[in-house]
Structures are given as structure tokens and as C-alpha cells.
Structure 1
């Protein structure tokens, strides 16, 4: 079919976009070093432009775009990630688990410095992940650990083989997101091609398939859960949401936002024709919400149970707190607050700011929970998008792959600022230009450009743009 002259004639432009993208993805996967920032920015800009034009010109040819999405991911199958070292820790955790050792109880560094090498290629894995990663306890939840262990079980001592299994798991998750995302878009009467702003986005292909970040697996469970919730299977949705939390903890931030979706929706009577009384409706919906939270909580506890101990609780809480009080990368409001701290106090106030911002985030989420209308699926997803955005706007650390969750949520809303962010987020990698220099700090001017663009689009969409309202 692809060799048919008429087919080529009718699809010259899309085929040109695909061919050029294949070439650029190949160069990106196998011939790029992350410190080569000119090559990085040029390739990414070209890929993003081609992606945008491809979706624009071929958005109604669903099957073709699905095949292209698979093809682009397949290019990376033999590539070792070149923008992230985290996969070395994934391999370590998986192999440790297969040895019957609880991965949450020891740091990698504690084994290496004591001369213990509990897994194959221990020194190579430690060197690969770096001392920062190796000196901290793992923060990856149990379903994520299961993925690591499966890869280790299937590939033994092969680092590349384990990378390939990780990649296959993430690709399968992406196509699971495609499947349930399409079904949810159809239910919401939103154009199904919206899903390609996520599935074909070079940011998603590079960060998830390329760099092996398991946000893709978390997102698969999240979208599956939202689909089940929309069609009324809330008990099953709660179980699947717990699976999402057990890949990455970030969906925990959404839990308060389900309140109005459950409590303030109208329930039909037994004949499915008329609303029940307000009092009965409220009582029934509160009961559903309580059971929903209970199922999420119990399922999550069950998934963590095999690893539970007092030491696990201590280690895990310390690791999570690091993201608020020790680490800083690609932040926005936090960097402004930090500079004010330097100005008035003379030192970095991250310990204080890191404790304050989670409280502010919780307060904002509670305001969104009780004072913003979140009764339909679209309204729920929209408030999830805005709540998570606020969290990232105030966070001390915003790694590029974090934006993947914002991007998938935006597919079901009128907002496009996450799509813009998925383009300019590449600027955060310019921090690695100084990695071998005495001054390893980020270029704050570059970060300022990134966030000026993001906040500019965000404020325009919130206060100026009159986008058509999406109905559930």
C-alpha cells in the first residue's frame, strides 16, 4: 500500500514528515550526547515542528498515526538512554528485589562502600547512576519495582536487554493510554485526534520510550481509571487508581478533587428517569465517595505491604522529603523565593520554603475541591490539570518528564499550555552544559525564558482566550 503511486501522490507531505522524523529520531537515539546543547535543541525543535505538522495534516487518519507512533518508538529499541541515568537505578532495584532483598532498606552506596556487590555488575550500575542517586534510598513505589523485577528476571545480567524490556513495558503502557484515551474522548464527544498531541509528541517519545521514565505506566493506569469512573465503574476505577499511585505517588494529589464529582452529581431513581430527593442523593453519593477512598487506600496499602517495616517508613519518608527540602531543579516560583531569601537572610532558605509550599498546595487544592465546580468528567480532569500545574509551579524540582501528566490531562480539556511546555521544557537540559565545569549551576536566564513562555500561554488561556466550552 505504501508503495502505491497514488497513495504516495496523495500523501506526499505526511510521508515526508514521517521520513524526516525517522532520521531525526535515529540521530537523537544513537548519535547525541546531552551536553551537545546545539544539536539537542536543533533536533528537538525539528522533531516538534514535524510532529505538529503531521498531526495537523493527518489528524483524521487515525490508523496511520497509530502505526507512525509505534514506528517512532521502535527506533529507540536498541538505544541506551542518553538524557537520563535513572535506568541504572531501575536495574539495580529490580536485581536487588530478585535477590530477595527489600530495595527500600539500603542505599546502593552502603553496599559498594562496604565492599558488598549483591547484584551482577554492581559497580557498573553504581557508576552509571551516579553518587547522588546511589546515596539515597529508592523512592519508586511497588508496582514500579515489579516492572524493574520483571525486566531483571527476563534478561539476567544484560544491561541492554533490561533496557529493552523496560522500553517494551513503557511502549505497551503508551498504547494502553491510547486505547482508553480514545474511548474516553469518544464518550466526552471530544475529537479523538486530540490523543495524538500526547502519543505522537516527541517529548513523550523521547522522555518515556527513550529515557525510560515510568510516568507512562502511571499515566496508563490514571487514564484507565478516569475512563472507568466516567462509565460508572467507580469501584474498579478506585483499584486502578491505586495501581497508578503505586507506580508514581503523584496521583495522590488528585484525591481531594473527587469530592464534588461524587457528592454533587445527580443520581437517578430505580426507574432511571427522575432524580432522587436531594437528601437521599447526598447520602448515597457520600457513601460512594467514602467507599471509593477506602478502596484506593486499602489497595495501595496491600501493594506496599510486602515491603512494610518501621525502617521502610523512615527511609521512604526521608526520601520523599528530599524532593521538597534538598533538591532543586528547573523551578520557577521557588527560585524567586530563594533569591528573596538570599537578599534578606544571606543563605538558601530551601528547608523553610520546602516545608511551606506543600501547605500552600494543600490549601489551594482544598479551595479547588470545595469552591470550584467539578461535577462532570471534563470539569474533574480540568481541575486535576490546574491543581497539578499549581503544584509544579511552586515545586523546588521539576524534571522534564513530570510534565507528561499535565500533557495527557490537557488532551481532555480546552487548555494547551502543557503542549507548549512540552516544547520549551527541553531548555531545562541546558543545565547539563556545565556538568563538567566548576560552576554546575543552572542558567537562570534560560529557565526564565522557559517559564515566561509557559506562564504567558497559561495566563492567556485562563484570562483572555475565549475557548469553546467542552461538555461531559
Structure 2
């Protein structure tokens, strides 16, 4: 590479970085402006809207969505260029700090943060949020609540909620940003753990940087402060324990993840089947005793009844749809004049059951195949965890929020030799950025949002890629 080409290369890299940074600044300022304006408006009796001030197009929505889309496009270009940055984690972090700071400044668009703080306040006041609905207790956050139900988040989550809720008597805004600081720290820790686990990979620094500045992770796990960042942490620990054959700790990581959010429990049968095939009877026995102990402690403290355990299954969204194939069909049925509400509800309920049964069939097939697979390995187990999670979200989750798929990225980062999974996961996470918002409405925007959220990754699932990604 001659001097002229080298100068142009670094000039282009600098331009790319500046464009991404400017777009992120606009996004962060706009989110902060919209969010804090809404905060004070709701306190004065204004509308407690879910996503944007209006369901259709608005200036603030165009600015936020446009700047986020630009940041995503520059990120994709950077991925394609495969630019290595730094030789240590601190050098990588130096490039990422501005983006982390901007994600921290941005005020959450989602209302979930208010549920977190409210459940934390209930816990601090010795009110069990698994036995009492959110509207049974009044806090400084009460005017912001949308979901008047018992907590769907595990006891480990309640600890972090409670820490943040300690600031509510001073200011609810302070409570919001304390939780966001926790999210930034955990996200950075997640990237560091990935960097440590990729010690022997030539693309170690590139993958770590790609995870650290991924726009979807910055938006959903830091800007919007979704607790999936905590689930991601337990997942990375789980994968590390699997690779280093610390299987009892792997089971413990699954339980901790489950006590953050319900999802990780679906990984338990896969790990148990793997241990059975490997004849790790001592590890299985220790894991069984550990599981019994955890269940006993949780049942005697936080979840003393069947209904309390059932609240973790999020019954509040049992009949709802958003951003999924189910939602696309729901909107289309709404447009048909002769389809009654009852007919539509019954059809969607049947569709939900069929997709769940289909996924259970896929999951069972994965278990059987893994048990009888020759030369089974820890890498195959991690791949199975990834595919079962991805297919659950893509095909069998009617209420598909845009941050759900963020949990796939730690698996993608640590299974870089599974090119189809990596590409499908990235697509699943980045394609919703074309249109931000919950996507649960019945408008044309919601239909398009659902279409672009699920169709691109579905195409990639159908058309498998053979060539490895990100290899020099």
C-alpha cells in the first residue's frame, strides 16, 4: 500500500467515525429532549405515550429514526471493511467511550424503565411485586406506568431495580440515570468478557469493538436501559463456562439468568442433554442439588405461590402481538371487513399455539440430534443455544419487541465460526432500525415495521451461508 493509498484509507476511516459520531450526537440530544419533555408533561397530567408523541410521522420521529439509521449504516460499512482497532481492551474502549457516553445521555424512549423503578420501590417498601400488582402501590413513578400487573422480572433484577429506586425520593430522573449507569457498566463488562474469551482469535479486537459499539445494543441496552444487558452478561458467563468445561457454574449461570428474565431456562435442557452424552454424572448430580436449592430458596422468599411463579411468564402480553409474523396477520385480518374481533382473536390464538408447537418440535429435534451427533463439542452446544433462541423469537413470539433479539449478539460474537448464525443474528438485530418504535399498532407503519423486522432474517434462515465471516 503506497503513501497516497494509506492516507486515503485513514481519511475514509476518520470520515466514517465522524459521521457515526455526529449521527449519535443528534440521536442522543433528540432522545433526551423528547424523553425529558415527556417526563415533565406526564407529571403535569399530559399524555403518557409509549414511543413517540404521535403514532404517525413527526419531526422528532424523523430526526431520531434518521440519525439512528445513519449510525447503523456507518456501522455496517465499518463491519464490511473489517477494520481492526487497538491491541488491548483499553485501546478498543477509548474509541467506544464517546458512543457509550451518548447512549448514557439519551433518555429512554421505552416505558419499561419506569416499571423497573416502581418494582424496586415496592421491594424497598417490603411489598412483594410477584404477589401484588403495580397499581396496588403508589410511588413517584406511578403516573408513568402502562402495565398494571405483577412483576415479570426475576429476583436478581429486583436487586438492581431496588438500588436505582433508592434515588426516587431525591428525583425519579436520578433513579433513571442510576440504572442507565449500571447498564453502561454491565455492557462494558460484557464486551471485556467477550475479549477475554476470544484470546486465540485473530479477529478478537474487531469482534469486541463490533459488540461494544453495535447501534442496537447501545440503543436498547443502554439508551433504553432494558435489562437484557444483564441477561447478556449471564449468557456470556454461561458460554465461557461451557468452553472451559465448568459445567456446574454453567448451570448456575442459567439459573441466575432465569432470575433476571425467564428466557434462559430454555437453555437448561440443552446443557443437561450435553452433560448426559458426555457422561458427566458428578456434574449432573451437583447441578441437580444446586437447582433444588435455588428453587427452594426462591420459593420460600420471593415466589411462594404458583401464581407468583406464573407472573414470570408475562401473562399481560398473552394475547398481544407486535413486530412479528403474528402481528402482520393480525393487521391484515383487521383490514378485512367481514372478520369479527372474536374470529380474529380465535385465529391468532390458534396460530400462536401452532407456532409454539412447531418450535417445541424443532427444539425436541435439536435435543435428539445433539444427543446422537457424532463428535459433539462445546461449540455445537453453543450453536444449538443460539439457533433455538433465534427461532423462538423469529417464529414463535407474537409480542416481539425490538430488544429481544439483542440477546443473540453475545452468542454470535462467541460462535464466529457459525457464519449463518452470525449473519442472521446481525440482520435480525439491525433490520428493525429502519423504523424505530414498538410496532404494536394497526397502521401501515406498523405493518411495514413488522415486515422489515422478521422477513430479512427469515430469508437468511432459509438460505444457509457456507463461507465463514470475518476471517482474514
Give the TM-score, by structure 1 length.
Answer: 0.79
Structure 1 residue 260 displacement after superposition:
4.6
- Per-residue Cα deviation, 1:384-404 (whole angstroms, up to 9, x for no partner): 111011111221111011011
Rounded to whole Å, the distance in 1 between the matches of 2:331 and 2:284 is 40
Structure 1 residue 363 displacement after superposition:
2.8
- Per-residue Cα deviation, 1:319-347 (whole angstroms, up to 9, x for no partner): 62526632211112575489689979833
In the TM superposition, 1:58-457 aligns within 5 A as 58-62=83-87, 63=89, 64-81=91-108, 83-111=109-137, 117=138, 119=139, 121=140, 125-130=141-146, 133=147, 135-153=148-166, 156-186=169-199, 191-265=204-278, 282=279, 285-296=280-291, 298-299=293-294, 301-303=296-298, 305-310=300-305, 313-317=306-310, 320=313, 322=315, 325-332=318-325, 335-336=328-329, 346-349=343-346, 350-372=348-370, 373=373, 375-392=376-393, 393-411=395-413, 412=415, 413-414=418-419, 415=421, 416-427=423-434, 429=436, 443-457=446-460
Rounded to whole Å, the distance in 2 between the matches of 1:139 and 1:14 is 44
Structure 1 residue 309 displacement after superposition:
2.3
Q: Which residue of 1 aligns with 2:466?
A: 466
Question: Which ranges in structure 2 are unaligned for 5 or more consecutive residues?
Answer: 1-5, 35-50, 53-57
In the TM superposition, 1:13-52 aligns within 5 A as 13-32=12-31, 33=34, 34-35=51-52, 36=58, 37-52=61-76
Rounded to whole Å, the distance in 2 between the matches of 1:222 and 1:410 is 12
Give the direction of change, closer, same or farther, for the CA distance of 1:300–1:360 in structure 2 (3 Å limit): farther
Rounded to whole Å, the distance in 2 between the matches of 1:183 and 1:19 is 29
Give the direction of change, closer, same or farther, for the CA distance of 1:302–1:18 in structure 2 (3 Å limit): farther
- What RMSD over aligned residues (CA atoms) do the two structures have, in Å? 3.3
- Given that residues 261 and 380 in structure 1 are in contact (C-alpha distance below 8 angstroms), is that contact kept between their aligned partners in structure 2? yes
Rounded to whole Å, the distance in 1 between the matches of 2:468 and 2:107 is 43
Give the direction of change, closer, same or farther, for the CA distance of 1:314–1:260 in structure 2 (3 Å limit): closer
Choose 323-332 or 407-416, whichever is displaced more.
Answer: 323-332
Give the direction of change, closer, same or farther, for the CA distance of 1:103–1:207 in structure 2 (3 Å limit): same
Give the direction of change, closer, same or farther, for the CA distance of 1:334–1:348 in structure 2 (3 Å limit): same
- Given that residues 239 and 299 in structure 1 are in contact (C-alpha distance below 8 angstroms), is that contact kept between their aligned partners in structure 2? no
Structure 1 residue 445 displacement after superposition:
3.7
Give the direction of change, closer, same or farther, for the CA distance of 1:356–1:459 in structure 2 (3 Å limit): closer
Q: Secondary structure at the match of 1:75?
A: helix
Size of the alignment, in residue pairs? 424
Rounded to whole Å, the distance in 2 between the matches of 1:447 and 1:382 is 26
Q: Secondary structure at the match of 1:400?
A: coil
- Given that residues 96 and 102 in structure 1 are in contact (C-alpha distance below 8 angstroms), is that contact kept between their aligned partners in structure 2? yes
Give the direction of change, closer, same or farther, for the CA distance of 1:181–1:404 in structure 2 (3 Å limit): same
Structure 1 residue 192 displacement after superposition:
4.6
- Given that residues 430 and 442 in structure 1 are in contact (C-alpha distance below 8 angstroms), is that contact kept between their aligned partners in structure 2? no
Give the direction of change, closer, same or farther, for the CA distance of 1:330–1:76 in structure 2 (3 Å limit): same
Q: Secondary structure at the match of 1:138?
A: coil
Rounded to whole Å, the distance in 1 between the matches of 2:98 and 2:123 is 33
Question: Which ranges in structure 1 are unaligned for 5 or more consecutive residues?
Answer: 1-6, 112-116, 266-281
Rounded to whole Å, the distance in 2 between the matches of 1:9 and 1:440 is 46
Give the direction of change, closer, same or farther, for the CA distance of 1:402–1:379 in structure 2 (3 Å limit): same
Rounded to whole Å, the distance in 2 between the matches of 1:179 and 1:309 is 37
